[in-house]
């Protein structure tokens, strides 16, 4: 089974670039996107008859949003952590026969850290949510988790200490999530690989010089790790300030 995740930072803009060609070339069983930044009926996509599409739109126009395109019809679909308080379209959870898939766009703490407290509280609820799912069947979490976990996961670790996405608090929440029974699939296969990033600033020459952060992940329940075949980063794919990530395995 092949799974792809990509923060497209505006799906309409990404479609005008190389999204559809990449989508069809990959022929993923499950393709997840984050930061769609659109509302219902604002885009038409030729996904192919084999794909089922599930969208979670933010109430605020041009903001956030997630979607999953899957060849495998899910047993059930859930939107958000608490369905009566889902305003930002950040999570789509699909239940399949042997696992749950959670596609997530984690809130950003903002440059001035004005949303850090909200972010940390959200992380607590998210961890509880996926732990409850994990009691029922294994879980695959994918998406933009908005944190570089370790110094190896960003180019300039020392100068970014305490900055949004690399605060001790955010990194600690990622540690807690992994310690709750999940595995970072990329590090499972590439524990020491450096200069492996999934996001780059739009500032000039930053991507060309590979001054990036690894903030997009596939995390899996620890008991799924032996079934994984590969986890990689498609860093050459343009169309967004993020690049796609890929997971393959017998799920």
CA dihedral 184, 165, 14, 86 (to 10 degrees): 90
**Among positive and negative, which fits the CA dihedral 112, 143, 246, 6?**
negative
Task: Indicate the SS3 state at residue 89.
Answer: coil
Please, is 122 exposed, middle or buried when counting C-beta atoms within 10 Å of its C-beta (0-12, 13-18, 19+)?
middle
Q: Is 144 left (phi over 0), alpha (psi -120 to 50) or beta?
A: beta
Catalytic residue flag (residue 144): yes
DSSP bridge partners of 141: 102, 219
Among residues 54, 105, 197, 217, the one annotated as catalytic is 105
Give the integer Cα–Cα distance in Å for 117 and 74: 34
* 3-state DSSP of 91-113: EEEEECCCCEEEEEECCCCCCCC
Q: What does the DSSP 8-state code read for residue 107?
A: P
Catalytic residue flag (residue 54): no
Q: Count Cα neighbours of 219 within 13 Å in the Cβ-side half-sphere.
A: 24
Among residues 134, 144, 153, 216, the one annotated as catalytic is 144
Give the integer Cα–Cα distance in Å for 5 and 204: 25
Name the nearest CA neighbour of 14 among 65, 48, 53: 65
By annotation, the residues acting in catalysis are: 105, 144
């Amino acid at each position: 089974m092949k799974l792809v995740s990509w923060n497209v930072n505006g799906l309409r803009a990404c479609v005008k670039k190389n999204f559809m060609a990449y989508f069809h070339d990959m022929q993923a069983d499950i393709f997840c996107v984050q930061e769609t930044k659109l509302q219902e009926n604002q885009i038409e996509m030729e996904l192919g008859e084999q794909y089922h599409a599930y969208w979670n739109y933010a109430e605020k126009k041009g903001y956030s949003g997630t979607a999953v395109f899957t060849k495998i019809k899910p047993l059930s679909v859930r939107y958000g952590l608490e369905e009566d308080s889902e305003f930002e379209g950040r999570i789509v959870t699909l239940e399949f026969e042997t696992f749950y898939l959670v596609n997530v766009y984690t809130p950003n703490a903002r440059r001035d850290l004005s949303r850090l407290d909200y972010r940390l509280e959200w992380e607590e609820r998210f961890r509880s949510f996926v732990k409850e799912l994990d009691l029922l069947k294994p879980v695959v979490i994918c998406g933009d988790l908005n944190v570089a976990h370790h110094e190896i996961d960003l180019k300039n670790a020392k100068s970014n200490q305490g900055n949004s996405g690399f605060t001790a608090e955010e990194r600690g929440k990622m540690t807690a999530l992994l310690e709750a029974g999940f595995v970072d699939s990329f590090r499972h296969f590439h524990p020491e690989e450096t200069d492996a990033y999934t996001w780059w600033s739009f500032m000039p020459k930053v991507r060309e010089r590979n001054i990036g952060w690894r903030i997009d992940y596939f995390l899996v329940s620890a008991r799924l790790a032996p079934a994984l075949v590969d986890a990689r980063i498609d860093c050459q794919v343009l169309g967004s300030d993020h690049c796609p990530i890929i997971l393959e395995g017998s799920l």
